Amino acid sequence: MASQIIKIVSAELKKHNAKKIVQVNLVIGKFTFIGKEQLQFAYRILTEKTSMEGSKLRIKEEDGRIRCQHCGYEGPLKQKNDPAFHMIIPTLECPECGSMAEIIKGKEFFIESIKMQS
């Protein structure tokens, strides 16, 4: 993911004849399950000794939403605390009627904006 972000941002840098990238703003949906800390670490390592070195990677996390085809519920996921996994697990079960629901928001992953220096 980090290398793809760098590739896209580098192309934009050349396209706009800028000298340096100052900040990259990402939007990541919660249902991508991408580790923000790992992504920031990889970004920092991969941008060393490039025109992006020292730039900030800002990540805005978008909440997820589901929609139930059965009862029409639209809202956040139901979460189940499973001691076997030592974490909270999201389920696609409708919190209103128990039917299966579909994800309608939270799978986004895109570059929202890039701040460059001429």
Residues 81, 93, single domain; the answer is yes
Query: C-alpha angle 53/55/56, rounded to 5°?
Result: 140
**Domain extent at residue 76:** 65-102
99 pLDDT higher than 60: yes
Residues 92, 40, single domain; the answer is no
Check if the beta carbon of residue 59 is closer than 8 Å to that of residue 28.
yes
Over range 38-57, report the average pLDDT.
95
Statement: the pTM of the whole predicted model exceeds 0.85: no
Check if the beta carbon of residue 28 is closer than 8 Å to that of residue 36.
yes
Q: How confident is the model at residue 42 (pLDDT cuts 50, 70, 90)?
A: very high
Check if the beta carbon of residue 74 is closer than 8 Å to that of residue 57.
no
**Residue 83's pLDDT is what?**
65
81 pLDDT higher than 70: no
Q: How many domains does the chain have?
A: 2
Mean per-residue pLDDT of the chain: 89
**Residue 9's pLDDT is what?**
96
